[in-house]
Structure 1
């Protein structure tokens, strides 16, 4: 049975298959393979000198059948299996479903962090133009944010196993900083015909980080004429990260960059 599961696992390693379909296949294979234990148990129970061994195989068959049943309930239904002892086993082995959930939340951002309170419907994405000089400023800002404890690049202290689970669940690289981090200070200023985002640890530290090209689907000049705009969010992302691979996570690095969202209101309403 273990050989069959190992072969299937190696085959699946070459494909990007999510956990639930893979778990269903493993459950089906384990269900049929488990009956080999029943066959061995019956074969041993037939002979007097081997009945203790047969009883052990029979007990193992029942135990494996119970765990296969738990897997079936988890992967094929939305119901919780009665008399499920897996949480107790997990706690005994040092694992915790709550810890996994907290780890996943540390790397998944459901809402945009903003300065000020805005409804998500008020926020528009932007297209940014980042030149080489601005990129150097972003890299400098990232270092200052790390040096001053605004962000850490230690994967939130999460274990490699939990990082692997997060990467498999999200199918995305796992950032060492966790989720994109809000820049401590930022502002939108107009320089001639250019709209510039300045940012830093504070106003005195601020440097030019990017030029805003569009707000939503409109050029920023058109959006500025139609709406009252406010720069609501500038987040830093990139840096060290781990990417899902065939045999686990691999270390990678992406240049630090920023994303910005602008809040708008129609002054005519």
Structure 2
């Protein structure tokens, strides 16, 4: 059995075969080899070689257990309930487990990373189309290098293995990028320059560079949308870079240009004027409301003065009559 596995290993070494296919082949060969061990163990017991036969049968059960574990891993793509691989790797100090654990921790940090540009209502945010030229691609590559130097640009294919990346590339027929769906940019802004709406992005406002020009907002032209609405840049995500695609016998890694994906928030321009007119009308109403009590108070004061005057005129006459 060992000779058969060694021959298969040498034979597969001549070809560029991925580890998953090798694992499946070894699992199938090991499955038939295990039954051969059981046959030899039974023959030993029949020939009164009880100790050797019992040991071979125990080895058969042990190897069949590992064959079952490999069957779940390579064919069903999930782990067996009693799979001891992680415990064995932890005891042996496998560096891949530490790398995987740190990778998950890095993804947690990246997921909580968000630019402090404010939050917008989802109903007022729509995607926008961005056109890029050669200078914009160079600026995005420079920003990507700065993000990578600051450990803010994960390039580990979101923790997926080559086989998982290959399966995803075959299903979507598109390249799978190392940064995944993209990484949010720390700083971004929408500026008007020479009649165009240019997207600026970078590590901060001081080092921001032009990375594209917005041409459409949703289904409308950017200039038509600007005439009716106030436009704000809501999100800006860096995409592209290193990617893997499906090849003949595995994945092929290549470098693609960086791009930027943006979303624009909008609000009506006459909303502010309506609000100010409403405030002014409310203020005028409050003034008229306060003026009416003043008028009534003035009238009451005049009545009091007339009464006092009449009383003052009557008092001398009353005095004369008393005399």
Deviations 1:130-172 (A, max 9, x none): 112222332333344445x26467759x8xxx75466357545
Secondary structure of the corresponding residue to residue 93 of structure 2:
coil
Task: Kindly indicate whether the alpha-carbon contact (under 8 Å) linking 2:187 and 2:202 is maintained by their aligned counterparts in 1.
Answer: yes
Aligned to 1:65: 64
Aligned to 1:209: 211
Task: Kindly indicate whether the alpha-carbon contact (under 8 Å) linking 1:163 and 1:174 is maintained by their aligned counterparts in 2.
Answer: no
Q: CA deviation at 1:79?
A: 9.4
Task: Kindly indicate whether the alpha-carbon contact (under 8 Å) linking 1:243 and 1:251 is maintained by their aligned counterparts in 2.
Answer: yes
Q: CA deviation at 1:41?
A: 2.4
Task: Kindly indicate whether the alpha-carbon contact (under 8 Å) linking 1:241 and 1:252 is maintained by their aligned counterparts in 2.
Answer: yes
Aligned to 1:167: 165
Structure 2's unaligned 5+ residue stretches are 170-174, 272-323
Task: Kindly indicate whether the alpha-carbon contact (under 8 Å) linking 1:24 and 1:76 is maintained by their aligned counterparts in 2.
Answer: no
1:103 pairs with 2:73? no
Aligned to 2:291: none
Aligned to 1:258: 260
Cα RMSD, aligned residues only: 5.0
Deviations 1:22-77 (A, max 9, x none): 9888766654553222123223433446x544333322210122233445566659
Secondary structure of the corresponding residue to residue 34 of structure 1:
helix
Equivalent residue runs for 1:1-269 within 5 Å? 3=5, 30-48=30-48, 51-71=50-70, 76=76, 81=81, 83-95=82-94, 100=100, 103=103, 113=114, 115-118=117-120, 123-146=125-148, 149=150, 151=152, 164=162, 167-168=165-166, 171=169, 173=176, 175=178, 180-224=182-226, 229-240=231-242, 252-264=254-266
Deviations 1:95-120 (A, max 9, x none): 58796476368579889955433566
Q: 1:91 to 1:79 in 2, by over 3 A?
A: closer
Number of residues of Structure 1 aligned to a counterpart in Structure 2: 258
Structure-2-length-normalised TM-score? 0.56
Deviates more, 1:181-190 or 1:95-104: 95-104
Cα distance between partner residues in 2 of 1:106 and 1:99: 10
Task: With a CA cutoff of 8 Å and minimum separation of 6, indicate the structure with the bigger relative contact order.
Answer: 1
Secondary structure of the corresponding residue to residue 60 of structure 1:
helix
More helix by percentage = 2
Structure 1's unaligned 5+ residue stretches are none
